[in-house]
Structure 1
Amino acid sequence: MKRLIRTILRWSLRVLAVVMLIVIAGRWVVPPITHTQVVQWRAQGSLQRDWVRYDQTGPMPASVIAAEDARFCQHFGLDLDAIRDAMQDDRRRGGSTITQQVAKNVYLWQQASWTRKGLEAALTLLIEATWSKERIIEVYLNVAETGRGVFGVQAAAQHWFGVDASDLSPVQAARIAAILPAPRDRNAAQPSDFVRGRAASIADGAATLRSNGGLDCLPNG
């Protein structure tokens, strides 16, 4: 029995070491493909994606932070206040931060479960400990689903508006951010009244973040 326990512990430590190396490597290495991209590639028969550097993402960082995680520069990956608020109000979206979404989108799967949530939390803390905030946003902006079979803000900018991400206007960036919760069902180019109103709120939030230092953890924040 002791030998079995030692073997299990030894292999567990090896697996943990491999996972840590993979996550740490993500600070520099572009993820080749994600689980969600594979699923959509099988469903759609093709993918639209084009990796861009952080400095090529135009106004998108401010827009997605305003839309998804306004305290991105203040928290350590897990926003405890947002989690508590989400638990108290069933109408709110889940309390997932952008870092948690990176952990899920790059390393895990979409189906919700306690197992995934536990792994997601652990990976989130490791990402925050080893990646810069700039890198976290860069990866998020390149792997987020932004349309049916469309991934990343460069592909989204081309798909919805026919421009590069760096050339998006603040309004266009806000509209892309507004469709993120349901990118297969919403249209950034021909927005519904809901998306239009949501985009206006996001644009206001992005302007507020710029003025009050809410983007200070990022270059040119």
Structure 2
Amino acid sequence: MAKFLRFLLRVTLILFITSTVYLVICRWVYPPITLTQLGAVFGGYGLKRDYVSWEEISPNVKLAAMASEDQLFPDHGGFDWKALEKSLAKNPKKKKKLRGGGASTISQQTAKNVFLWQGNGVLRYVRKVPEFYFTKMIEWVWGKQRILDVYLNTIEMGPGIFGIEAAAQAYFGKSAKNLTRNEAAMIIACLPNPKIFTVKPVSRRVGWRSKMILREMNNIADDPDVHALTR
């Protein structure tokens, strides 16, 4: 038993060190593959992906992502504790901000997309501790701009479609840097379940949610911290 525990501790330590080194490398290099992307390949959806630099992503996309998924992204340290508290309380009478992932921030979603796995049930709870670690680490090592950059390049935006460039080409036949506000809102509206909430054909959810996102984009566009991350 003691030998097994030593082996388990050694494996855990190796995984911890290698994952931390990988995290630092990803400060400058886009992830070559993620578990979610592998899942799409083995699930028969294929893999449509084309990483693009920060400058090649339209400010409209960056604004839409924050307006929809995490309006406090420029200000928090990885976790929106107020939103988490509201989510746990499940009080429908309290006003809630528009956000697609409940209490999950863009930083948390990025950590999960790049370093961990999707899924609910038991796997969701097993994921919580490493998700906390990776979320804090990318906040410290990457910074906000890099987190949003990697998020928009790696998140699934359709069946087998990963990243904003592949989504822009698939849905609108143009590059990500040329997306309009309405187009950006429509793509982001497919989150968090792009296999069901389709952009083309436009699902009912994407239709009404994209309008809500446009309104929120107008509401937060003049915030100095938000504006600094959309340039």
- TM-score of the aligned structures, taking structure 2 as reference length: 0.86
Deviation for aligned residue 1:88: 1.4
Match status 1:77 vs 2:88:
no
- Aligned position for 1:37: 37
* Residue type at the aligned position of 2:40: Q
RMSD of equivalent CA atoms = 2.4
CA contact (8 A) 1:36 1:105 kept: yes
Structure 2: which amino acid aligns with 1:19? S
The residue aligned with 1:109 is 117
Shift in CA distance, 195/219, structure 1 to aligned 2, threshold 3 Å: closer
Structure 1 47/8 Cα, relative in aligned 2: closer, same or farther at 3 Å?
closer
Percent identity between the aligned chains? 35
User: Which 4+ stretches in 1 moved above 2 angstroms?
Assistant: 1-19, 90-94, 189-194
Number of equivalenced pairs:
220
- Whole-Å Cα distance in 1 between the matches of residues 49 and 5 of structure 2? 45
Change (3 A) 1:60 1:40: same
Greater CA deviation, 202-211 or 143-152?
202-211
Q: Which runs of 5+ in 2 are unaligned?
A: none
CA distance in 2, matches of 1:122, 1:15: 13
> How far 1:15 sits from its partner (Å)?
3.9
More divergent stretch after superposition (38-47 vs 149-158)? 38-47
2:213 is aligned to 202
TM-score of the pair, normalised by structure 1:
0.90
Deviation at 1:26, TM superposition (A): 1.1
Q: CA deviation at 1:94?
A: 3.1
What is the Cα deviation at residue 16 of structure 1? 2.8
> AA paired with 1:210?
A
Matched, 1:139 2:140: no
1:136-215 correspondence to structure 2 within 5 Å:
136-215=147-226
Comparing 198-207 with 28-37, which one deviates more in the overlay?
Answer: 198-207
Report if the CA contact (8 A) 2:63-2:230 is conserved.
no
The structure-2 alpha-carbon separation of the partners of 1:4 and 1:178, relative to structure 1 and needing over 3 Å to count, comes to closer
Which runs of 5 or more residues in structure 1 are unaligned?
A: none
SS in 2 for 1:146: strand
Query: Residue 21 and residue 206 in structure 1: after superposition, are their counterparts in 2 closer, same or farther (change >3 A)?
Result: same
Q: Partner amino acid for 2:104?
A: S
SS in structure 1 opposite 2:157? strand
